[in-house]
């Protein structure tokens, strides 16, 4: 039995790994490519560019300024100056890389150069820099956004009512059913299954008994809400299904190797709790063990995967669920009340960054982690869609039916797609791409614009996430698109990021069952470097059984995309105790990663995973022409915050700087790959065009005689730029260490995740 568990555990890990792990970590060459400053040796001069300082960012466009030095051929002394850039941002959330394309130098200033040389220097930079292959890490970009105003706008109308919070002290599994159970005919004579649940639940109509497959066990109960017990013997038809399920598992285990595992002995079967309404399971491994948080008057419960903090002064417990705080004066038997993240006790912000519960800092307004989480909601995943080949097929359960959802907007309720009717025109958002048609069933073509009314879809509408999908620009051949994390469930609230809208959306019940996005029930946690993770288990045997059940394999639950979503939540190991079952895990095991409950089953497309959609891949290096790769999947859509799709005007630009927009060349511009310079990345461009260097805590200014103390202290914005640059370097290093090795073991084979972008995605026959 133990060996069987180990083999199946290895198989489960391998299955998860091949679905979840990102492609690779950066090698040394790529690290050099994205490090700053950059150096390019041209025919006339050597140019060194220091890390750009962001000034504005909107849609897929950014504006920045950067310090540069130019050393002419035959000269030994460089000339320092500042350049202003405009560029289109191409992002790849898998590798967390950013490529700047259609770069344009809008102006430049060289305060330390002779007047007769300035125009020649500017002309040379305007000609050379747009040819550079400009790549940077996502985390450097994120840190740089800290100085940009107006990002991370808050969304109103979210629901924060507490779900049912179930506190247990013994191994338990929360089995979620999406509303009242829908029984559908199994593809096996005489049995039915619960169509609106990710768990494998059968019913024998002859006896009325229900059967649940979980881990190594089959459970039986006379009713879904009754006490479930392990079935010692299964009746005939259910036994036949159990054999087929075992065969399915065995086939999945083929070619997998057993891995060593600590001998934990035979674990008891977990208890089963079934809920049909929003709920969260807080499992404590025995009686609560309260441990102090250093430097604060706070305690936390260390023997749980949940985030539970106690304020000694008020004797209140604070529980973090889906990024939301709930407070109570007791863990059980009390009502939990929502507390906004800017109203939690002040000592929450004093939790050390190296604490076991440091991850909760991202849910405390005013902390650096919270600010960065909010800023990340402004970074889209971008792509280019081939207008000539991309299309979509929309199927309805009967005749198309629409319900009003906001001003002048109606949405289709009996399809798995997100279809909107606005002013007599139909728009379909599928896999983060907009399509348009004159009729509800097509034919569909790639849209080049969408109505402004879509931005006003309220949060209580089940298709509200489509408002985070943008069309930035188009040519006769391609459409430039992107989606923010709001498309995947992230929303800004009181200076922090929360998961999901908090609403329960009524699914479609007809001949088919179409689910909608959910907020609670899957143990959602935020990690500053890997995004949302889920502590609900997806190991083989709990959620991945599909025998006789059409369209199953992962449509349910939260919408998870980014690779961080897939890594799950690991704090239990840090606490030094065995996590036990947790809400859905195999006995005594916490997998190193978890496929999100909202992800698509194998074979299902993902956002930007087909239709000749092009992404920036290969460590963020842009592709041109025939080098582009079509149909590669992405693993993360969205972050919250509604942003305009046109670039914002940047205030305070030098008078000599033209305000012309970024020009997109009709043909790809030849690119040159700069190399990492051996100079320190400590030179900055002031808004006035002057160049400064940070030496320890002091600033120096560049003039014709070299570096010297400035006549007046530079603006505080340079101090912010310096801190942001240091933070970006730190984040890049930490994010890299949080990614798996590029040479995985057999049980950690890299491959993309498959996720769904909106409420539908799968269906079960009723």
- 172 pLDDT exceeds 50? yes
Is 106 in a helix, a strand, or coil?
strand
Of the given ranges (76-85, 396-405, 614-623), which has the lowest mean pLDDT?
614-623
In this prediction, what percent of the chain has a pLDDT beyond 70? 72
Q: Give the count of beta carbons closer than 10 Å to the beta carbon of residue 614.
A: 21
- 521 pLDDT exceeds 80? yes
3-state secondary structure 693-740: EEECCEEEEEECCEEECCCCCCCHHHHHHHHHHHHHHHHHHHHHHHCC
CA gap 47, 129 in Å, rounded: 9
- By the 8 A CB rule, do 90 and 133 touch? no
Question: What per-residue confidence (pLDDT) applies to 762?
Answer: 41
- 536 pLDDT exceeds 70? no
Question: What per-residue confidence (pLDDT) applies to 674?
Answer: 84
What the block records as the tokens of 473 is 């620009």
Question: What per-residue confidence (pLDDT) applies to 738?
Answer: 61
At 117, the pLDDT band (50, 70, 90 cuts) reads: confident
Of the given ranges (59-63, 146-150, 191-195, 462-466), which has the lowest mean pLDDT?
146-150
Question: What per-residue confidence (pLDDT) applies to 628?
Answer: 28
Look up the pTM and report it. Answer: 0.79
- 720 pLDDT exceeds 50? yes
- By the 8 A CB rule, do 646 and 620 touch? no
Question: What per-residue confidence (pLDDT) applies to 577?
Answer: 28
User: Which is nearest to 513 in space by CA: 171, 766, 202, 177?
Assistant: 766
Question: What per-residue confidence (pLDDT) applies to 348?
Answer: 97
Question: What per-residue confidence (pLDDT) applies to 274?
Answer: 96
Cα–Cα–Cα angle for 597, 301, 343, rounded to 5 degrees: 80
Helical ranges in 21-112 per DSSP H: 28-34
pLDDT digit string, tens, across residues 198-249: 889 999 999 999 999 988 899 999 999 999 999 999 998 999 999 988 888 7
CA gap 53, 147 in Å, rounded: 9
pLDDT digit string, tens, across residues 275-291: 999 999 999 999 999 99
CA gap 333, 525 in Å, rounded: 24
Beta-bridge mates of residue 229: 220
Sheet of 469-474, strands arranged across: 469-474, 478-483, 381-386, 613-614
User: Phi, psi (5° rounding) for residue 55?
Assistant: -115, -35
CA gap 302, 538 in Å, rounded: 23
User: Which is nearest to 306 in space by CA: 160, 564, 523, 585?
Assistant: 523
What the block records as the tokens of 586 is 């195999």
pLDDT digit string, tens, across residues 728-750: 888 887 776 665 443 333 322 22
Question: What per-residue confidence (pLDDT) applies to 161?
Answer: 96
Question: What per-residue confidence (pLDDT) applies to 520?
Answer: 92
Question: What per-residue confidence (pLDDT) applies to 609?
Answer: 55
Question: What per-residue confidence (pLDDT) applies to 69?
Answer: 93
- 656 pLDDT exceeds 90? no
- 306 pLDDT exceeds 70? yes
Average pLDDT over residues 622-645: 29
At 551, the pLDDT band (50, 70, 90 cuts) reads: low
What the block records as the tokens of 35 is 């490090």
Average pLDDT over residues 282-308: 94
Of the given ranges (27-41, 273-287, 489-503, 585-599), which has the lowest mean pLDDT?
585-599
Question: What per-residue confidence (pLDDT) applies to 649?
Answer: 30
């Amino acid at each position: 039995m133990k060996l069987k568990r180990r083999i199946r555990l290895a198989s489960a890990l391998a299955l998860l790994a091949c679905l979840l792990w990102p492609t690779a970590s950066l090698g040394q060459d790529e690290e050099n490519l994205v490090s700053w400053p950059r150096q390019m040796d041209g025919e006339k001069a050597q140019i060194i560019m220091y890390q750009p300082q962001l000034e504005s960012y909107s849609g897929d466009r950014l504006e920045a300024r950067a310090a540069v030095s130019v050393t002419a051929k035959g000269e030994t002394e460089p000339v320092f100056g500042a350049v202003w850039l405009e560029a289109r941002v191409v992002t790849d959330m898998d590798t967390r890389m950013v490529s700047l394309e259609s770069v344009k130098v809008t102006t430049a200033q060289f305060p330390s150069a002779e007047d007769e040389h300035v125009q020649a220097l500017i002309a040379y930079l305007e000609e050379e820099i747009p040819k550079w292959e400009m790549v940077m890490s996502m985390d450097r970009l994120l840190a740089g956004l800290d100085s940009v105003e107006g990002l991370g706008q808050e969304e109103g109308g979210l629901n924060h009512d507490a779900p049912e919070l179930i506190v247990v002290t013994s191994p338990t599994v929360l089995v979620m059913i999406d509303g009242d159970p829908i029984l559908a005919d199994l593809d096996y004579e005489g049995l039915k299954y619960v169509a609106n649940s990710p768990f494998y639940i059968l019913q024998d109509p002859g006896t009325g008994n229900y059967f649940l497959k979980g881990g190594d066990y089959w459970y039986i109960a006379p009713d879904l809400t009754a006490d479930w017990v392990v079935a010692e013997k299964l009746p005939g038809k259910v036994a036949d299904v159990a054999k087929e399920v075992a065969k399915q598992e065995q086939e999945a285990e083929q070619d997998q190797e057993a891995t060593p595992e600590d001998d934990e002995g035979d674990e008891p079967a977990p208890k089963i709790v079934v809920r049909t309404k929003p709920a969260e399971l807080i499992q404590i491994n025995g009686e609560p063990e309260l441990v102090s948080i250093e430097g604060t008057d706070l305690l936390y419960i260390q023997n749980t995967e949940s985030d539970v903090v106690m304020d000694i002064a008020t004797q209140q417990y604070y529980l973090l669920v889906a990024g939301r705080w709930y407070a109570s004066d007791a863990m059980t038997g009390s009502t939990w009340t929502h507390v906004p993240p800017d109203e939690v006790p002040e000592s929450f912000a004093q939790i050390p960054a190296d604490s076991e519960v440091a991850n909760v800092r991202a849910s405390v307004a005013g902390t650096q982690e919270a600010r960065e989480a909010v800023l990340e909601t402004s970074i889209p995943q971008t792509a280019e869609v081939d207008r000539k080949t991309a299309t979509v097929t929309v199927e309805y359960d009967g005749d198309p039916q629409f319900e009003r959802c906001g001003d002048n907007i109606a949405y289709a309720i009996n399809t798995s797609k997100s279809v909107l009717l606005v002013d007599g025109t139909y728009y379909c958002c599928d896999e983060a791409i907009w399509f348009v048609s004159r009729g509800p069933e097509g034919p569909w073509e790639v849209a080049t614009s969408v109505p402004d009314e879509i931005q006003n879809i309220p949060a209580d509408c089940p298709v509200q996430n489509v408002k985070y999908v943008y069309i930035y620009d188009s040519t006769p051949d391609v459409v430039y698109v992107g989606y923010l994390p709001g498309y995947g469930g992230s929303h800004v609230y009181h200076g922090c990021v929360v998961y999901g809208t908090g609403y329960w959306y009524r699914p479609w019940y007809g001949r088919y069952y179409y689910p909608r996005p959910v907020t609670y029930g899957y143990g959602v946690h935020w990690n500053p470097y890997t995004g949302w993770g889920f502590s609900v288990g997806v190991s083989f045997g709990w959620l991945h059984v599909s025998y006789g059940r059409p369209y199953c394999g992962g449509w349910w639950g939260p919408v998870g995309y980014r690779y961080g979503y897939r890594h799950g939540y690991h704090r239990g190991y840090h606490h030094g105790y065995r996590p036990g079952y947790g809400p859905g895990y195999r006995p005594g095991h916490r997998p190193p990663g978890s496929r999100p409950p909202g992800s698509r089953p194998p074979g299902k497309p993902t956002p930007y995973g087909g239709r000749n959609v092009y992404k920036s891949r290969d460590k963020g290096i842009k592709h041109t022409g025939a080098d582009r790769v079509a149909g590669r999947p992405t693993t993360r859509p969205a972050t919250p915050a509604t942003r305009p799709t046109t670039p914002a005007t940047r205030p305070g630009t030098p008078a000599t700087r033209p305000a012309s927009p970024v020009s997109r060349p009709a043909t790809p511009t030849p690119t040159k790959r700069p190399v990492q310079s051996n100079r320190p990345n400590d030179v900055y461009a002031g808004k006035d065009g002057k160049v400064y260097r940070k030496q320890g805590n002091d600033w120096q200014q560049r003039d014709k005689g070299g570096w010297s103390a400035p006549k007046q202290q530079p603006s505080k914005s340079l101090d912010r730029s310096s801190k942001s640059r240091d933070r970006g370097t730190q984040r890049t290093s930490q994010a890299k260490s949080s990614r798996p090795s590029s040479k995985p073991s057999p049980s950690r084979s890299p491959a993309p995740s498959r996720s769904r972008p909106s409420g539908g995605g799968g269906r079960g026959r009723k």
